[in-house]
Structure 1
Amino acid sequence: MTRPEIPRIDAHQHFWHYEPDQYRWIDNSMSVLKRDYLPSDLEPLLKAHRLDGCIAVQARQCEQETDALLALATEHPWIKGVVGWADLQDASLLATLDRWQDQQRLRGFRHQIQDEADPDAFLADTAFNKGVAILQARGYLYEILIKSSSLPAAYAFVRRHDRQPLVLDHLGKPDITHGNLQSWAEQLAPLAALPHVHCKLSGLITEAGWTTWRPDYLVAYMNQALELFGPERVLFGSDWPVCRLAGEYDHVYALAELALAPFSASEQAAIMGGNATRLYGLTVKAQEHAA
């Protein structure tokens, strides 16, 4: 027996041709990432878990990264959307966006704020905020990549930008190794109270001990995010291949299944793809999956 489903989407993953000078954030502790990760590597994983497509997210801070991901999306139709990079502090941002105006799969942008010398100051920077406002005026989403210590500064940031949805990556990267679930939840709650803020259920196994993480402990963080945002504003993402620092795609998917088990079938379908399809304006035809 088969049944038509809401499209199933991995809302957060990366591709790259590995070059050390282009990916300096990949240090010597991350040897598993020091190789190419391409669509041919991901496609079997998506098929194995009955996923219809994915959203490719930037991993380099250069316009060439956006161009490269868009080229991959053209070549592989199951790459349904791209979250690229542009210099939002640049006075010529409008001209840069004009260059991509016909790229229908370019759905949003991201900057690796967590790697800035002062992430909180960056979130308050006038030029950066002007750039985000320009993105929203053009109909693009913005994804927020920060560590949990920047959640208070992120709250002030998201309040300034409510013209389009905003997406918090990796649950705001809680400091799981130091067991701060309660303080993280308290800092996350104000963001979750704003209806234009969404959250990706992703990236947790690499925030915990890479060789010591326990499913039950991580699910406690996932449950808290699901309670705060509700199933209508949470999106599943694998964070592949970065997840391979601490586990494989199967482990990430199993964690999501464990966290979502108490939810209804329709709520699970929303988190596993329906929300991403709506939020990013994806054009996806759901496959017929075995019941």
Structure 2
Amino acid sequence: MIDTHVHFWNFDPVRDNWINDDMQIIRKDFSPENLLDVYSDLNITGCVAVQASQSEEENHFLLKLAEESEIIKGIVGWVDLLDPNLDERLSFWQNHQIIKGWRHILQAENRDFILNPAFIAGVKQLKKYNYTYDLLCYHNQLENIIQMVDQIPDQPFVLDHCGKPDVKSGDLKAWTANIKTLAANPNVLCKVSGLLTEADWQNWTEQDLFNCFDVIFEQFSPERVMYGSDWPVMLLSRPYQDWFNVVNKYTERFTVAERRMIFSDNAKQFYKL
């Protein structure tokens, strides 16, 4: 089994200022060693390390961790897609085959950034190098994401954290409609990950999460969904096992082959692990 979404960092209060005082449990260092026991208990064999900082230094940091730890099977790094020398940078990173794709923290950007023709042109260059692109956004940005994706029909995309629905309020109407539109693009996959931090951290219910899963699996089908944890951010709500158990319980309704897609095959195919 593959966990398609984890982060590692040596905590820096300035760089990582998004980790505020209400998040004491993750205001510390996290390394692959911290996952070994839980992965062993759950028979998870590897992970995809996803950027948490927007610099090329982050790529070097994750590459060093991958050299030291066998559990990192792939890296989603960061590169400046607005860089006039982007082609040169992508060519450089081709020297590191474990880097499978790229991500920008679009949830922190506005519509003008997401739909900037220069940014879209940057994403279009990824296909030349067979790179994937992770889409990180809030539910109220999905319409902009759809407009962006529509312009790049041959780029492999994956939506992180189900597009961050408003699990806490339970108002899923607009999110559901946008997920349906986005999922109509066959080049877009979705990670079932990161929902605990969109829910009421302490008081979410299994049904709160299942309501979101219903939409994701109906629209994307098991053929285009992959399991991820969003560890260590999800620790703000619960231990790793709790999230895994919820996803595992929900997917019991699927066939063995479909579960293999969700927990392994889709990730291997998408990220070329």
What is the TM-score when the length of structure 2 is the normalising length?
0.98
TM-superposed CA distance for 1:75, in Å, is 1.7
The aligned counterpart of 2:131 is: 140
Aligned to 2:29: 36
Shift of 1:87: 0.8
Return the letter of the residue paired with 1:141: T
2-structure distance, mates of 1:52, 1:39: 12
CA drift of 1:212 comes to 0.9
Residues 176 and 215, structure 2, Cα contact 8 Å, conserved in 1? yes
Could you tell me how far 1:135 is from its partner in structure 2? 1.4
Equivalent position amino acid for 2:241 in 1? D
Q: CA deviation at 1:18?
A: 0.5
Kept in 1, the 8 Å contact 2:32–2:71? The answer is no
Once residues 195 and 235 of structure 2 are traced to their aligned partners in structure 1, the CA distance between those partners, rounded to angstroms, is 12
CA shift, 1:77, in A, is 2.3
Equivalent residue, structure 2, for 1:45: 38
Instruction: Please name the residue that 1:231 is paired with.
Output: 222
Equivalent residue number for residue 26 of structure 1 = 19
Q: Which residue is equivalent to 1:76?
A: 69
Structure 1 residue ranges (4+ consecutive) displaced by more than 6 angstroms after TM superposition: none
CA distance in 1, matches of 2:270, 2:258: 15
SS in 1 for 2:83: coil
User: 2:196 — aligned with what?
Assistant: 205
User: 2:194 is aligned with what amino acid?
Assistant: G
Alignment-derived partner of residue 245 in structure 1: 236
Distance in 2 between the 1:89 and 1:223 partners? Answer: 37
Return 5+ residue gaps in structure 2 as ranges: none
Once the two structures are overlaid, the 10-residue window that deviates more, 55-64 or 153-162, is: 153-162
* Number of residue pairs the alignment of both structures matches: 273
Do the aligned partners of 1:58 and 1:84 also contact (CA within 8 Å) in 2? yes
Structure-2 residue corresponding to 1:88: 81
1:84 Cα offset (Å):
0.2
TM-score, length of structure 1 as denominator length = 0.92
Q: How large is the RMSD of aligned CA atoms in angstroms? A: 1.0
Equivalent residue number for residue 107 of structure 1: 100
Q: What amino acid is the match of 2:139?
A: S
Q: CA deviation at 1:153?
A: 1.0
Query: Alignment partner of 2:18: what SS?
Result: coil
1:98 aligns with 91
Match of 1:289 in 2: none
Matched residues in 2 for 1:44 and 1:194: separation?
38
Counterpart of 1:224, as a letter, is V
Shift of 1:98: 2.3
- Following the alignment from structure 2 to structure 1, what is the Cα–Cα distance between the partners of residues 119 and 67? 29
Query: Which of structures 1 and 2 has the larger relative contact order (alpha carbons within 8 angstroms, sep 6+)?
Result: 1
CA distance in 2, matches of 1:136, 1:248: 37
Aligned AA (1:139): N
What is the CA–CA distance in structure 1 between the aligned matches of 2:193 and 2:136, rounded to whole Å?
12
Residue 192 of structure 1 pairs with residue 161 of structure 2: no
Structure 1 residue 175 corresponds to structure 2 residue 160: no
Asked if the contact 1:114/1:146 (under 8 Å) is kept, the reply is yes
Shift of 1:131: 0.9
Quote the offset at 1:173 in angstroms: 0.2
Which of residues 243, 255, 260 in structure 1 aligns to 2:251?
260
Asked whether the equivalents of residues 11 and 235 of structure 1 are also in contact (C-alpha less than 8 Å), the reply is: yes
Between the aligned residues of both structures, percent identity stands at 39
Distance 2:218 2:164 in 1: 17
For each residue in 1:5-35, what CA deviation from the matched residue of structure 2 results, as whole angstroms up to 9, or x when unmatched? xxx1000010000011121211111111100
CA distance in 2 between partners of 1:246 and 1:178 (Å): 16
Question: Are positions 1:273 and 2:261 aligned together?
Answer: no
Distance 1:261 1:182 in 2: 26
Query: Bigger shift: 30-39 or 174-183?
Result: 174-183
Do 1:90 and 1:127's aligned partners in 2 also have CA atoms closer than 8 Å? no
Q: Which amino acid aligns with 2:248?
A: E
**Take 2:241 and 2:71, find their aligned partners in 1: how far apart are those partners?**
20
What is residue 9 of structure 2 aligned with on the other side?
16
